[in-house]
Structure 1
Amino acid sequence: MRLTVLSTLLFAGTALAAGSVQAAGELNLICSADVVICEQMRGDFEKAHDIKVNMVRLSSGETYAKIRAEARNPKTDIWWAGTGDPHVQAASENLTLEYKSPMLDQLQDWARKQAESTGFKTVGVYAGALGWGYNTEIFKTKGYKEPRCWADLLAPELKGEIQIANPNSSGTAYTALASLVQIMGEDQAIDYLKKLNANVSQYTKSGSAPVKAAARGETALGIVFMHDAVAQTAEGFPVKSVAPCEGTGYEIGSMSIIKGARNLDNAKIWYDWALRPEVQSRMKDAKSFQLPSNKSAEVPKEAPKFEDIKLIDYDFKTYGDPAKRKALLERWDREVGAVAN
């Protein structure tokens, strides 16, 4: 009888321990960067930790919508990468969790400020300027003039030759919308986008898709973050990247732990690991040429440098505000998206 009781207790203890190991050994991740770096990050993390990563690749806008919809019953532990505005918006709506990583002191000022401005509910992991990439062979064959400024994209000969993502799904396109508003003023920016619409052949779901289409010769030009254009050049495609002459905005790719994360300890392990210099130095191996947030990380030689670009003082707080974002997107839907080709 005593042996039976002892066996039962041992079995129960073993089952409990096994359940704990299984729970401690998983992480539910949403990655909002390019799928190649997402896969590399997952692989590197799993090699270094006894943790299985269940990863989904979604754009920033899609991720924000998902975690908002699942707020009462979160299915995601951590959100890595993607433009900072939706991360800031999620933080302001209390969808993400405050976490002060021990790695904070190693980060660039812009990455730490991203954390401080949100009450440490998100942090910067990389940065990159907005611009475009164009197919040099198409431009040469068709005799198009190289577009150096935002105004040049309105040239009549570029009708149907430009792609940009939809700002409702893409953080890249929302950054473009918010940047143009800050450069021109809201009414003028909407008027510009209405005129640009005549030259846009497609509003894609993903922010990097337009320049990938340009690389394949399916369109002449894609409005994207410049590092995405550089990545296509590094792959051997005839793509040249451009920083707009009037000035441009930039992203702070961010990372957030979801409030109510089921695997919170593992989320913190990923968070600290993703901020390490050796991890960020590996991003270039996946043809990701952003500026890393850790001051000791290797900056890819191909990365567009901020000092070479006319950057605006991008207002992350204002354009990451839920009410402002909602109003801008509604106006874009009404005045631009509704009349899209």
Structure 2
Amino acid sequence: MRSYRKTPVLALGAVLVATTAACSAPADSGSSSTSGSGSSSGTLNIACSQQEDFCQKITAAFEEATGIDATYVRLGAGEVLARLETTPGEFDVWSGGQAENHLIADERGFIERYVSPSAADLPAEYNDADGIWSGFYTDSVGFCSNQSELDKLGMDAPTSWEDLLAPELKGKVAMPHPATAGVGYMAIYTQQTLNDGDTDAAIDYFTQLHGNVMQYSKSAATGTEQAGRGEVAVAIALDSDCVKAAENGYSELVTSYPEEGTGYEVGAVSVLKDARNLDGAQQYMDWILTTEAQDLYKDVPSYAAPTLADAVAGDAVPDQDAVNKVEWDLKGAADNRDQLIELFESDVASSSSAQ
């Protein structure tokens, strides 16, 4: 069992406060540019697969810590994989997103393998010994429910995958699309794992769930916002995203987990092939795998758990040791991704009963 030191979520530390203004992005851009003293050759271009405020503030903190100019674009894991195909060399480093997606990127020739000296302190399950990826946060797939909406339906928060199939939830469930948001794919691979690798059984579950789904959203966090506003009763979401939405004003939100088991994420960082700022990319990977960097999560605030045992986590961060997790096969998740997404799109999402 792993444990993390926890402290109350504090105001942003001096490092983040001093640099946040320089890292603000136009509301419609989805990206941010920072300008520091510039001690490396060229700007570091980051593909960031985390929530916008984390991308913004961690990029700023990295720049403050290293003096390296940095810019980021916030993209879901599926979007990053697509961009690596169409515009190779656009990004120097990929920060965030499930480790299995970084394995896929490596198989497609997009990763510059780098064994960071900082990775020596990571538990083995949070690191690839060959330098494809290293993990810097972790969280789990859960159910993010609006308690008021559940009360109206006379239902408790779901505690199994079967609970989501209840007829009372018709049109009341949100799920991110697996082709664009990693948590959507994690849900599918979780079902395949729970069914002993049976692909047909996994797809059949989502075929049954389809009539209850109001929308397959592009972003992982969209469902938590829909649940928070009462547009749906339940969202399949990362527990960290649900807690974040609850802490940000959606006070009716509650997090629960399927008792039979759920998938979990090791959020990874990788250096990308053809990086224009290879030195900066390696320094970013080194930095985000330090306790000093992971201690900043509580100040962003991020509700994912750090991967270093001595890093300080905020009080509201879900206890990952208390979650019943399925046996997560990273290579299996990577190898099955294309087939499962293709089957989901053809057999599930193409039906007209969900948006």
Common fold, TM-score beyond 0.5? Answer: yes
Kindly indicate whether residue 344 of structure 2 is the aligned counterpart of residue 332 of structure 1: yes
CA displacement 1:20-69 (0-9 Å, x = unmatched) = x7871410111000001111111111222322212100000100111122
Say which one has the larger Rg. 1
Does structure 1 residue 49 correspond to structure 2 residue 62? no
Query: Which residue of 298, 305, 312 corresponds with 2:319?
Result: 305
Residue 105 of structure 1 aligns to a residue in which SS? helix
List gaps (5 residues or longer) in structure 1. 1-20
Q: Which moved more, 1:174-183 or 1:228-237?
A: 228-237
Q: Which structure 2 residues correspond to residues 222-233 of structure 1 after superposition, within 5 A?
A: 222-233=235-246
d(CA) in 2 for partners of 1:188, 1:301? 38
Answer whether contact 1:85 1:171 (CA < 8 A) is retained. Answer: no
Report deviation, 1:139: 1.3
| 4+ aligned runs moved over 4 Å, structure 1 | none
In structure 2, distance between residues paired with 1:122 and 1:304: 24
Contact kept in structure 2, 1:133 and 1:224, CA below 8 Å: yes
* Equivalent in the alignment of 1:157: 168
Instruction: Look up the match of 1:262.
Output: 276
The correspondence of residues 1-341 of structure 1 with structure 2, limited to 5 A, is 24-71=41-88, 74-112=89-127, 115-116=128-129, 119-184=130-195, 185-237=198-250, 238-321=252-335, 324-340=336-352, 341=354
Distance 1:211 1:84 in 2: 23
CA distance in 2, matches of 1:182, 1:313: 8
Amino acid at match of 1:60: A
Distance (whole Å) between structure 2 residues aligned to residue 27 and residue 196 of structure 1: 42
Deviations, residues 199-254 of structure 1 (Å, cap 9, x unaligned): 00000001121012111222211101111111122224211001111111111111
Q: TM-score, normalised by structure 1?
A: 0.88
- Inter-partner Cα distance in structure 1 for 2:112 and 2:237: 30
Question: For residues 23 and 299 of structure 1, what CA distance do their matches in structure 2 show?
Answer: 31
CA distance in 2: counterparts of 1:260 and 1:209, whole angstroms:
33
1:274-331: CA deviations, max 9, x gaps? 111121121122231112112221133322223211111111111112xx22111111
Structure 2 stretches lacking a partner, 5+ long: 1-37
Distance 2:126 2:329 in 1: 14
Partner Cα distance (2:286, 2:331) in 1: 24
> Per-residue displacement from partner, 1:117-171 (whole Å, max 9, x unpaired)?
xx21111111111111101111123323321110000000101111111101111
Letter aligned with residue 210 of structure 2 = N
Q: Deviations over 1:240-272 (max 9, x none)?
A: 001111111111111111111000001111111
Residue 137 of structure 1 aligns to which amino acid in structure 2?
A: S
TM-score normalised to structure 2 length: 0.85
Deviations 1:60-90 (A, max 9, x none): 010011112233xx11100100122211111
**CA distance in structure 2 between the partners assigned to 1:52 and 1:122 by the alignment:** 23
Q: Is the 8 A contact 1:60 1:82 kept in 2?
A: yes
Q: Does the 8 Å contact 1:248/1:312 carry over to 2?
A: yes
